[in-house]
Amino acid sequence: MTGLTPFEHASAHRALDFESIVIHGDDGIEQTADIAPPLHPTSTFAAESAAEFAEMATDARHPRYYSRYGNPTNQRVEAIIAKLEGAEAAILAASGMGAISTAVLTFVSAGDHVIIQRNHYMGTSKLFAELLPRFGVRTTVVDQTEISAFESAIQDATKLIVIETPANPTMQLTDLRAVADLARTRSIKTLADNTFSSPLNQRPLDLGIDLVMHSGTKYLGGHHDLIAGVVAGRNADVESMWQTSIVLGATLGPFECWLLLRGLRTLPLRVRQHNETAMAVATFLNSHPAIEAVHYPGSPTHPQHELANRQMSGFGGTMSFQVASSYRETEQFMAGLSLIRQAVSLGGFESLAVHAAAMWAGTLTDEQVREAGVMPNLVRLSVGLESANDIIADLESALSQVGKQSGFN
């Protein structure tokens, strides 16, 4: 087995576990003895000769030509994420929206039709509702909980189906295998946003989806210190997206990439703890009289819990719940939190919560908020790495104030 990297040597005998992939998935990218990977904060690279320069300039995605085209630091992260998702390749972008925009603009053109689901990250919704129509791309919005809705929406011009599961912020699920089977028989490309699950809890490509994307800002990075996006899939598709990305210029800088690489090293440990703590928090909320509903795929009360068990190996650290009160009293609940901080984003080491209706109102119209199913009393909670006891105590304290005013005590 001489000449193989440690990763190749080990994986020749058996498929490596996630814990090993995040440590060794980038073996062989660079010939270096450094244990901590080097950072390449450079915009361009020098060639030793005219022949080498010509080779660099003509080699697609060369990691040492110009950093908008590629960079060794970025190459390491792409290799690890591709292996985590079971993909042939991956491409990084400067944000989650940069990733999904690059993917969509690669595979649709004027006159094409796209199917999306009702519940998406707000930026994704705006991409399809406001930007793409300007370029002649039509969109049909469907209820993601009904596979028949996807089938009914298909047209001769349908080129792409975009899904997100669990969906932000309602935590509704989309049947990945059913959508993939439906699309494959009609040669329609499928793209799944896997941000809320991470590859540790769900692998859409294993269920037949063509492309999977993440906001790397969330669980993959895990430290609230970077903005990044990634799409993974087959080599040919990633090559096509790379051609689009170098034109759009949504390139992830090497420093952010180095931070993302550092975050990936501990992803399995963090996700395991997120899963465990979130389940404890969801159980507490389900039993509290001041809570109207809890939306968490791991909870037996979730209407799609059976589907979650079929396509997820873990249920993640993000949930939403409805305080049994008005918009105003939900704001009072949010004000009563002390350990859990009010901030957008999710998937990091610190617990964050947002009053979803208030946040979505700043980006979407009232009609779009209603269509997305965002209720006035809906709170999205990203469970961090604090102890479950402390998170629950903070929620209980804030809920007790709502309870005193609303008669729950």
**Which residues are part of the catalytic machinery?**
68, 121, 193, 218
User: Is the distance from CB of 196 to CB of 271 less than 8 angstroms?
Assistant: no
Query: What is the spatial distance between Cα 232 and Cα 84, in angstroms, rounded to a whole number?
Result: 10
Query: What is the spatial distance between Cα 180 and Cα 188, in angstroms, rounded to a whole number?
Result: 9
3-state DSSP of the chain: CCCCCHHHHHHCCCCCCHHHHHHHCCCCCCCCCCCCCCCCCCCECCCCCHHHHHHHHHCCCCCCCECCCCCHHHHHHHHHHHHHHCCCEEEEECCHHHHHHHHHHHHCCCCCEEEEECCCCHHHHHHHHHHHHHHCCEEEEECCCCHHHHHHHCCCCEEEEEEECCCCCCCCCCCHHHHHHHHHCCCCEEEEECCCCCCCCCCHHHHCCCEEEEECCCCCCCCCCCCCEEEEECHHHHHHHHHHHHHHCCCCCHHHHHHHHHHHCCHHHHHHHHHHHHHHHHHHHHCCCCEEEEECCCCCCCCCHHHHHHHCCCCCCEEEEEECCCHHHHHHHHHCCCCCEECCCCCCCCCEEEEHHHHHHCCCCHHHHHHCCCCCCEEEEECCCCCHHHHHHHHHHHHHHHHHHHCCC
Residues 6+ apart with CB under 8 A from 92: 74, 77, 78, 99, 216, 228, 229, 230, 251, 252, 257, 260
